[in-house]
Amino acid sequence: MQWQTDWGLRGRMALTGFLLFALYIVFAGLLVAYFGNVIPMLIMLGGFSLLQYYFSDTLALKSMGAHEVSEDEQPALHDMVTRLSRQADLPKPKVAVADSRVPNAFATGRNQKNATVCVTTGIMNTLDREELEGVLAHELAHIKNRDVMVMTIASFLSTIAFIIVRWGWLFSGGGDSRNQAPIWVAILVSLVVWAISFLLIRALSRYREYSADRGAATITGKPSALASALMKISGRMDSVPKEDLREQAEMNAFFIIPIRSGFIGRIASTHPPTERRIEKLRDLERELETA
């Protein structure tokens, strides 16, 4: 299979980007109308987001308790990543391992030349070689599609809106109600902006999983391997202790399969249903067999 540009993904990125841009222009305009010059605040928050984006791989690995491993430590894992990266026409990313019973994997990094693929010890103990290759190929497809960069940028002003809602609510109590009117307007507008952008970003996130699945099938030529891996991982999630799941719930958007527990797992899904992903992969397998 040859790698093909996913115009569906690009179209959704463009549409989501346009809608978010329009939404944030209105948002910034309303803030300026009520508070005057908010540019310094936006610049400051933008600076923090830029730092987060630049050090996204380090932050993600530390949050998971993961560490980069050398070829001497994990020769088989490095061999798989090297070969799959070559097949995907990508620079080889760094390889990391997290000591966790949760069978999962994720990719992080600001671009294709500064990326890291991380797997847990749980997933290495769960999957066979072909299945693990399917998962690694899925993460490499995320890197090739620049998903980490896109989701970080898309989430920027949504995060600002959330901060205004959270801290505006805390500091709105007491004082002259007339002076508080602009604060409540800002909170209301920010809440609406955050809710709409939240839904748009989650919809984009779900589609990018389908795209990464197709990319993995293209890289390995074996859609069934990833389908089998998804079935195994999904089945193992039920046997993982709840405290382990809660510890990693914040990384849902990056995982091969999301953790469906805790607050984040209840309010929204960053991933489509595993059953639907498996069904699409099996359709791809049939297409290959009849080609």
In Å, what is the CA distance from 91 to each residue of 3, 75, 86?
16, 18, 8
What's the pLDDT at 60?
78
Is residue 41, in this structure, part of any structural domain at all?
Answer: yes
pTM of the model: 0.74
Is residue 140, in this structure, part of any structural domain at all?
Answer: yes
Task: Profile the chain (291 residues) by mean pLDDT over runs of 10 residues.
Answer: 66 72 68 64 66 74 89 96 95 94 88 92 94 96 85 67 58 49 64 75 82 92 94 72 48 54 51 86 86 66
Residue with tokens 């391997």: 225
Whole domain around residue 195: which residue ranges?
7-290
Is residue 1, in this structure, part of any structural domain at all?
Answer: no
Is residue 185, in this structure, part of any structural domain at all?
Answer: yes
Is residue 85, in this structure, part of any structural domain at all?
Answer: yes
What's the pLDDT at 204?
78
In Å, what is the CA distance from 181 to each residue of 36, 135, 176, 286?
15, 51, 9, 61
* Percentage above 70 pLDDT, the chain: 60
Closest CA to 104 of 211, 206, 289, 245: 245
What's the pLDDT at 245?
45
Q: How many domains, in total, are found in the chain?
A: 1
What's the pLDDT at 59?
76
Q: How many CB atoms lie within 10 A of CB 272?
A: 17
What's the pLDDT at 235?
76
Is residue 184, in this structure, part of any structural domain at all?
Answer: yes
Long-range contacts of the stretch 182-188 (C-beta < 8 A, 24+): 182/34, 182/35, 185/30, 185/34, 186/30, 186/31, 186/34, 186/35
Residues assigned a catalytic role: 139
Q: Name residue 247's amino acid.
A: E
